[in-house]
Chains A and B, each alone.
Chain A
C-alpha cells in the first residue's frame, strides 16, 4: 500500500503541500491533473528521489519517510524511459534484477525481448517505454510508480502493454501509482484516482466517484464535463408539487430532492448539496436527445425528470462520436451521441429537439 499523510516536498519554486491519499495494498492508483500540477514530483517524492519536507509516507505499512530510494522497494518508470545509454537493452533490463530468469520472463511478456542486444539509442520512444517498464518490473518491486508510461506507444501496442502491466500487477499483488493524462486509462486502470493541482490534492477516491461527482466546477471542467452550470440549489420537501410526491427530504441526507435554478432553467437533482449558490454538473454522455414530434399529442412517457425543448446550434463530429450543442432558453446544453444516432435522427443545426437527463445524472457541488 501507499499512504501519504500531509506529505510536502519542494523542487525549486514548486511545492507539494499537504498531500494525503491512500492506495490499498495491491491497488492501482492513478494521478491526474493539469500540466505542472506536481504529478511527477509526487511520484518522485514517493520514490525518495525528491526529499520529503514534511508529513509521513507509508509504503507497504512501514514508515518510508526517511528511507533512501534503494531501500524503498519501488520501481520507477519515467515518461521518457531514461534508459542508460551506455548499456544494451538486455543490460538495461537486467540492471537491478536479482533473478535473471525473471528479468527475461518480464521482457518476454512485455515484448521487450524483441529489441535484444540493440543499442538503446536506436529505439523509438515507445520501445524505450517498454524497455523501461521491463527494467522496473524485473526487480519485482512491491510498489510500481509509473509516469505516463504508455504515452509514446501506438494505440495497439498501448492496449497490449497496458493489459500486460495490469495482469502482472494482479498476479504479483503490486501496488501501482500511475500518472496519466488519459481519463479513459484512469477509468480503466484505476482503483483510486488522485486529482492534483498546484501541488495539492483536490479530490481523491474511486475514479467513477471523481468523474461522476467532481468536488468543484474546476475539477468538473478539467475532467471534461461540458455542462457546468452556476445557479442556486434548494431542497424540496413533501409540499413541493412537482416531483417529490410525499418523499420527505430528510429520509436520507444524500438522497434528498433538490431543485437547481440556472438562468431560465430548473433542473431537478438528487443529492446532499446545501441550499444556496452552487454548480450543477451533467456529463454530456448522460444527456439524451429526441426529435420533437409536432402534433403527436402527449410526449412519450419517460423516467427522466429533466426534459427541455431546445434547438441544435452546433454539431462537432469526431469519428463515431458527435457532440451536439442544444440551445435551451439561452443555456447551451451539450449531449454526446454516436454519429450514427445523429444520422438516424436526422439531427442538424436548427433542428428542434427534446433534451433529457435523469435527476441522478446531475451532480451538485
Chain B
C-alpha cells in the first residue's frame, strides 16, 4: 500500500458511508408512506369492504376495467412490440418515440386529449355513439384512459422480452420446416412468455393506479382511485384512508405475483442460462 492510497482510504470510507445513508433514506422515503398507510388503515379498509357497497363496486370496476384494458393492450400491443423488436422498418424510431409520449405527458392532459378525440362532440365520439357506444362518462372511458397511459409500458416490456430471444432459435426453427407464424407460436412466444406476462402485470398495475386521465374522462362510475379522491375532498382524511389502503393492497398483489414469477425455479438463470 502506498502513501496516496493510505490517505484516500478514509475518504473512500466516508463516501461509502454517505452513499449508504443516502440509499437507506431513499428506501425509507419510498417504503414508509406505503407501509404506514397499510398498517394504519389496511385492516379497516378490508373490513370496510364488507359494509361499504360503493367501495366494493369501485374495486370491482377497477379490476374489470384494468383487466379489459390490459387484454386490449396485450392483443394490440404484442404484434407491435414484436415488429419493433424484430423487423427493421422505416420510421421505427418515430413509432417508438410516439409510444413513449403517453408516459411523458401529465395524465390529466392525457385525459383532456382523449376527451377531445373520444368525447361526445368529437367525430369518433359521435360515430361510436351512433353504434350505442359512449366512451366519456362510461366504463369505456375508464378503459380508454387506462389503455392510453399504461399500454406503452406493456409494449416496452414486450419489446424487451422479444429482443431477449436470440433470433437464431427462430432461424433454426425455420430450417426445421416452420413458417414464420408457427415459429412465433412454437418458439418465440414460449421463450418470451415470462417477459410478456411481467409486462402485462406491470400494465395492469399501472392501469389500476391510474387517476389523472380517468378523472377527466369518466368521473362516474368511480374507480377506486377516483373514489379515494372523492372521499378525501368530501369527507377528509379518515374516510379516504381505508379506500387508499385497499387500493395500495390491490396494487401490491401484482407486485407479489411478479416477484413470484421472477424467483420461480429457473428464472434465476433464466434464458441467459441456456442461451449460448
Interface residues of A (CB under 8 A from B): 44, 47-49, 68-70, 72, 74-76, 78-86, 95-96, 120-121, 132, 135-136, 139, 141, 145
A80-B276, A121-B269, A121-B274 given; A44·B173 CB < 8 A: no
* Chain A interface SS verdict (over half): loop
In the complex, the chain A residue whose C-beta lies closest to that of B275 is A85
Whole-angstrom CA separation of A337 from B237 in the bound complex: 94
Cα-based distance from A74 to B173 in the complex (angstroms): 11
Q: Are A82 and B276 in contact (CB under 8 A)?
A: yes
Cβ A85 vs Cβ B176 within 8 A: no
Name B187's closest neighbour in chain A (CB-CB). A84
- B166's nearest neighbour on chain A, judged by CB, is A82
Whether the pair A70, B168 counts as a contact (CB closer than 8 A) is: no
Report the minimal beta-carbon distance from A33 to chain B, rounded to whole angstroms.
Answer: 20
Return the contact of B175 from the options A69, A83, A84, A86 (Cβ within 8 A): A69
Give me 5 A-to-B residue pairs in the complex whose CB atoms sit less than 8 angstroms apart, sorted by A's number: A76-B171, A76-B172, A80-B276, A121-B273, A145-B175
**Chain B interfacial positions (CB closer than 8 Å to A):** 166, 168-169, 171-180, 186-187, 190-191, 266, 269, 271, 273-276
Residues of A within 8 A of B178 (CB): 70, 96
The interface residues of chain B lying within 8 Å CB-to-CB of A68 are 174, 179-180
Complex CA gap A78/B168 in Å reads: 9
Per the bound structure, the CA–CA distance linking A145 and B273 in Å amounts to 26
- The B contact surface, by secondary structure, is helix
**B169 near A74: Cβ-Cβ < 8 Å:** no
Task: Check B174–A49 contact: CB distance below 8 A.
Answer: yes
| A47-B175 contact in complex given A80-B276, A84-B187, C-beta closer than 8 Å | yes
Residue of B nearest to A97 (CB): B176
Instruction: Find out whether the CB atom of B172 lies under 8 angstroms from the CB atom of A82.
Output: yes
- Whether B276 contacts A95 by the Cβ 8 Å rule is no
A48 to B187, CA, bound (A): 18
Residues of A within 8 Å of B190, CB to CB, are 84, 86
A68 and B177 alpha carbons, distance in the complex (Å)? 10
- The complex places the Cα of A79 from the Cα of B168 at a distance, in Å, of 11
Report how far A82 CA is from B173 CA in the complex, Å: 10
